[in-house]
Amino acid sequence: MDQWINIPEPTEALPEAGTERGLLEWISSVDHKQIGIMYLLMTLLFFVFGGILALFMRTQLAVANNHLLSPEIYNQFFTMHGTTMIFFVAMPAFFGFAVYAIPLMIGANEMAYPRMNAFSFWITFFGGILLYFSFFTDGAPDAGWFNYAPLNESPYSTNGINYYCLGLLLAGMGSISTSINIIVTVLTRRIKGMGMKQMPLFVWMMLITSFLVLAALPSLNAALSMLLLDRILHAHFFTTSSGGSALLWQHLFWLFGHPEVYIVILPAFGIYSEVFPVFSRKPMFGYGFLVASGIAIALLAFGVWAHHMFTSGMGNVVNAFFSASSLLIGVPTGVKIFNWLGTMYGGSLRFTVPMLFAVAFLLEFTIGGLTGISFAIVPIDWQLTDTYYVVAHLHYVLIGGSVFGIFSGLFYWFPKITGRMLDERLSKAFFWLFVIGFNMTFLIQHALGMIGMPRRVYTYPDLPHYTLFNFISTIGTYIMGFASLLLVINIFKTLRNGKPAGPDPWDAYTLEWYASSPPQLKNFEKVPPITSERPLFDLKQREAKE
Amino acid sequence: MMDPHSEQAASIARLTNYFFIAAAFIFLLVTTLTIVFIIKYRAKPGDKMPKPIYNNRRLEFFIVGVPLAMVSFFFYLTIKTMREVLPSAEGKDPDVVIIGHQWWWEAFYPAAGVHTANEIHLPVGKKLLIRLLSADVIHDWWVPQLGNKMDVVPGRQNHLWLTIRNPGYYEGVCSEFCGRQHANMHIRVYAQEEADFQTWLAQNGEKAKQPDKEPAQQGALIFQEKTCGSCHRIEGTAAAGTTGPDLSHLASRHTLLTGVLDNTPENLNRFLKDPQKVKPGVNMPNFWLDDSTRAALVAYLKQLK
């Protein structure tokens, strides 16, 4: 039973710039840990950009008939905010965690394709830079993050749309190559004895997500290429005035766009499924069920896209089909809540910051999930789509679900990544301020939508309740902004003089906590035998007995 | 949307209420469990390792089964309500045709041959078929108290049914992002008793008033000379443009520019002086008209009752 597994040296030397050469070492690195860290730093950079745009938007909307931002600028800002947060914050954050943690969690010393790993990061990063370069042209993209035709065509929009197409195509290459890398790494580099049923749930969810990326991105890439042909070579895919189709764009975009929602939520589910067991001191309740429902979500994800189009006049038969599939996908998504609750049940709960974000997620995501169901019910969608109710819903899912997952993962793995513990008081202040600010910003927006305020408006008339509700929402955003500042301060303070963490500060279950903190260039010399999905827990149990 | 004034809005509001009751039940269940678990299972010094629970088939069957039954019930209600609110319009002639433009609404009443813009008059108590078309990009018709929204898609003919219950003024707004002035693309619906509606329709079916004194007569000449008629229509004159709103009975409307300003001569003058300042991004060019020219134009337009 007690068969320790030695990890061999890589058979092939990888290029590296030597040991201590500062920036050059990072730029030339193919080490999965350094690339993971660079992904996370890039995420932080774009999170700051996207957040500043949001602060401007909410300031503009603080009072009725405000003239701080012109409509041209406001439209560019909200387009860039959405595009940034989806493509350059949510996606790369999870890829960052994945390329950092997956090899460590499966007892490997590297990703399957280290050079491609570096390529994926840099192409994604430069895609984002190219997108932001559009601010120096006649304007950033201004047709919304889903960029509907024919508003995205040259007569109606800025040249920023060309940068949108090219930037997202580059980032898309990065996403696809990382996904291939993750799939091959997970399938071929697992340590001996770790079958599929012993894989940590974060690894499972990233595996499923990677297949989703491979299947969903081609539709977006096709749409972006067609749009570029329209704009540069005067093709007519989406130009309605010369026979193109406005709805074709919507179908292509949402055939990517709805799976994209699951691409940025399944990895968060994976992180919560690591955090809940560790801080409840129990195994995950319903491991098999979580994996199966993850796969079910991934398959159903490709049959729900047109619920974004219930008001486009598709007809009741088509609406009924997509209503049924969207209601159905709500079941495996929602039922997971009870798996995490079941894990807490009877446990010994430690409310560290990763656990706090995970518990907050349970409530926020339930709100976001339930309002999501209201969009599967076609007549309710007919009333509420494209209002602030949608804005509220999508932020409850994307912040309360995905971003809380990113924060939970960040606080969970930060001691591993840096070898230092984040300041407990600053971290808890950040948690409470962020959660309060978040709910203050978005809860009231449900009401704004129901009383008739449409989304994507640069200003609004002084109708009853509008000013008060918007003002409350704006104050909430400022609180979130202040909290984010605390997070950045906390990170830099800890890097300078944080308390040393040691290899296993959380008394955790999976292999990454067996490596040193931060891990050496070669992650492991040897790893303990794999006896369940909690190898480190089993090892500690055996050692306690002896 | 929770204050319905049409049959269609009432159907949707009923369904929405059922949904919120079910949603509140689930939210309360999750919240209660979470709070109880937080209090009950908080780690205490000297805690022993908790008993592991790997799964529970019976519970799993239950937590899948109950939500499945709930969504099935709502799927049934969805189909039922969809058929009530939006039956097919195959082969039927519309009562009103609404055309979305960047950034205003055109309304055409085919039976009476009447054109108007932005302020849309409709009779109560009749099941109206409204045809929705677009002249440029996608817009969306939404008057929350009157029910479902519907996109206005270039190259497609969409429709909605509307049975308004009470006379009154209903405020709506374009709900699909359509460019710079999306925010100000308001819809104003005036629901009227049948007789009042017919009076309004007859008045708006007449040719535009010819000015009978200065400076309005001067204004009529300027209107033609400055090529205003390339974009705007005034019934009974050479002005027949369709890019901008119909002005034949402009003076009978309450507001200007889809509700941005009240319809007063001062506001009209302000807009003519610098359109971009009043409505940034609007397609109306600045003609750099001098004061007396603007005064003549305003005098002409304000007698177009």
How sure is the predictor about A520, in pLDDT bands with cuts at 50, 70 and 90?
confident
Q: Report whether A258 contacts A301 (CB < 8 A).
A: yes
How would residue A9 be classed by pLDDT, with cut points 50, 70 and 90?
Answer: low
Distance between B70 CA and the closest CA of chain A, angstroms: 10
Structure tokens at A193: 């004895």
Closest CA in chain A for residue B150: A311
Residue A64 φ/ψ region, left for φ over 0, alpha for ψ in the -120 to 50 degree band, beta for the rest: beta
A278 pLDDT band, cuts 50/70/90, is very high
Give the closest of A151, A287, A331 to B178, CB-based: A151
pLDDT digits (tens, 9 = 90+) for A419-452: 999 999 999 999 999 999 999 999 999 999 999 9
- Read off φ and ψ for residue A91, nearest 5 degrees: -65, -55
With 70 as the cut, is the pLDDT of residue A21 above it? no
pLDDT (mean) for A130-150: 95
Rounded CA-CA distance A37/A492 in Å is 14
By CA distance, what is A386's nearest residue in B? B175
Q: What's residue A12's pLDDT?
A: 54
C-alpha distance from A352 to closest chain B C-alpha (Å): 11
Sign of CA dihedral B110, B116, B122, B123: negative
* Amino acid letter, B170: Y
Mean of the per-residue pLDDT values of chain A: 94
- Which of A65, A151, A273, A533 has the highest number of chain B CBs within 10 A, making it the mutation to test binding with B? A151
| Residues from chain B contacting residue A371 (CB–CB below 8 Å) | 23
A380/B138 touch (CB, cutoff 8 Å), yes or no: no
Q: Which residues of A173-200 are buried (b: 16+ CB within 10 A; e: fewer)?
A: bbbbbbbbbbbebbeebbbeebeeebbb
Say what percent of chain A tops pLDDT 90.
90
Please indicate if any CB of chain A lies within 8 Å of the CB of B23.
Answer: yes
pLDDT tens for A31-65 read 999 999 999 999 999 999 999 999 999 999 999 99
- CB proximity B35 to A under 8 Å: no
Q: Which two tokens stand for residue A515?
A: 């490596």
**What local confidence, expressed as pLDDT, does residue B283 receive?**
92
CA distance B50 to chain A (A): 6
- Residues of chain B contacting residue A342, judged by C-beta atoms under 8 Å apart: 53, 56, 59
ipTM of the complex model: 0.95
3-state secondary structure labels for all residues of A325-354: HHHHHHHHHHHHHHHHHHHHCCCCECCCHH
* Cβ-based contacts of A390 with chain B (< 8 Å): none
Q: CB-based contact (8 Å) between B276 and chain A?
A: no
Rounded Cα distance, A68 and A13, in Å: 57
Render pLDDT for A454-488 as a digit per residue (tens, 0 to 9): 999 999 999 999 999 999 999 999 999 999 999 99
Whole-structure pTM value: 0.95
Tokens of A125: 């990063």
H-run or E-run covering A44: helix A32-60
For residues B125 and B304, is the Cβ–Cβ distance under 8 A? no
Residue A176, C-beta contacts closer than 8 angstroms, at least 6 positions apart: A213, A214, A217
Give the whole-angstrom CA distance, residue B186 versus residue B75. Answer: 33
What residues of chain A lie within 8 A of the CB of B99, using their CB? none
Q: Do A348 and B23 touch (CB under 8 A)?
A: no
Could you give the CA distance from residue A278 to residue A282 in angstroms, rounded to a whole number? Answer: 7
Strands (DSSP E) found in chain B: 96-101, 104-109, 114-117, 119-123, 127-134, 139-141, 150-152, 158-163, 168-173, 186-192, 255-256, 261-262
Q: Coil, strand, or helix at residue B75?
A: helix
The Cβ-side half-sphere exposure at B114, using a 13 Å CA radius, reads 22
Q: Using the predicted structure, report yes or no on whether residue A7 has a pLDDT greater than 90.
A: no
CB within 8 Å: B63 and A350 = no
DSSP H or E segment with residue A358:
helix A353-376
CB B161 within 8 A of CB B92: no
Q: What is the 3-state secondary structure (H, E, C) of A241-262?
A: HHCCCHHHHHHHHHHHHHHHHH
State the smallest CA–CA distance between residue A365 and chain B in angstroms: 10
| B60: chain A residues, CB-CB within 8 Å | 286, 289
B156 lies within 8 A of chain A by CB: yes
> Is A283 within 8 Å of B181 when comparing Cβ atoms?
no
Q: List chain B pLDDT tens, one digit each, 305 residues.
A: 779 999 999 999 999 999 999 999 999 999 999 999 999 999 998 888 899 999 888 888 888 999 999 999 999 999 999 999 999 999 999 999 999 999 999 999 999 999 999 999 999 999 999 999 999 999 999 999 999 999 999 999 999 999 999 999 999 999 999 999 999 999 999 999 999 999 999 999 999 888 988 899 999 999 999 999 999 999 989 999 989 999 999 999 999 999 899 999 999 999 999 999 999 999 999 999 999 999 999 999 999 98
Output the six-digit token pair for A229. 């042909």
CB A154 within 8 A of CB A229: no
Residue among A382, A453, A470 with most chain B CBs within 10 A, to mutate: A382
User: Is a pLDDT exceeding 60 seen at residue A15?
Assistant: no
User: Which pLDDT belongs to residue A8?
Assistant: 62
Instruction: Write down the pLDDT at residue A23.
Output: 79
Query: Using CA atoms, how far apart are residues A206 and A102, in angstroms rounded to an integer?
Result: 9
> How far apart are the CA of A178 and the nearest CA of chain B, in angstroms?
32
Q: Do A71 and B60 touch (CB under 8 A)?
A: no
CA angle at residue A462 from A459 to A463, to 5 degrees? 115
Contact A281 B44 (CB under 8 A): no
Among B186, B60, B193, CA closest to B123: B193
Whether residue B295 lies within 8 A of chain A, CB to CB, comes out as no
Nearest to B81 among A144, A330, A379 (CB): A379
Out of B15, B67, B175, name the one closest to residue A454 (CB).
B175
Q: Give the residue-averaged pLDDT of A380-404.
A: 97
pLDDT at site A2: 56
Nearest CA in chain A to B23: A370
Q: Whole-angstrom Cα distance, residue A82 to residue A91?
A: 13
Confidence check: pLDDT of A114 > 60 = yes
pLDDT at A14: 54
Tokens of A91: 């996606």
Question: What type of residue is A399?
Answer: I
Q: Which of B26, B71, B257 to mutate to test the interface with A (most CBs of A within 10 A)?
A: B71
| Closest Cβ opposite residue B83 in set A247, A316, A458 | A316
**Low-confidence winner among A1-10, A258-267, A533-542 (lowest mean pLDDT):** A1-10
Determine the distance in angstroms separating the CA of B217 from the nearest CA of chain A, rounded to an integer.
36
Task: Determine contact: B49 vs chain A, CB below 8 A.
Answer: yes
Residue B236 main-chain phi, psi, to 5 deg: 90, 0
Instruction: Work out the minimum CA distance from A399 to partner chain B, whole angstroms.
Output: 18
The nearest CA of chain A is from the CA of B107 a distance in Å of 20
C-alpha gyration radius of chain A = 23
Which of B132, B155, B281 is the closest to A245 by Cβ? B155
Q: Which of A146, A304, A308, A312 to mutate to test the interface with B (most CBs of B within 10 A)?
A: A312
A322 to A58, A245, A314, A458, A533: CA distances (angstroms):
34, 21, 11, 32, 37
A87-122 b/e with 16+ CB inside 10 Å = b?
A: bbbbbbbbbbbbbbbbbbbbbbbbbbbbebbbbbbb
What's the average model confidence in pLDDT over A212-230? 97
Lowest mean pLDDT among A69-83, A513-527, B102-116: A513-527
Name residues 183-202 of chain B within 8 A of A (Cβ): 183-184, 186
User: What average pLDDT score do residues A390-414 get?
Assistant: 97
Residues in B 205-264 with any Cβ partner in A closer than 8 A:
259
What is the DSSP secondary-structure string of B12-35?
HHHHHHHHHHHHHHHHHHHHHHHH
What is the chain A residue with the closest CA to B181? A71
Interchain pair B11, A350: CB under 8 A: no
B82, A378: Cβ pair inside 8 Å? yes
* pLDDT of res. A20: 60
Q: Output the pLDDT for position A17.
A: 44
Whether the CB of B6 is below 8 Å from some CB of chain A: the reply is: no
pLDDT of res. B117: 94
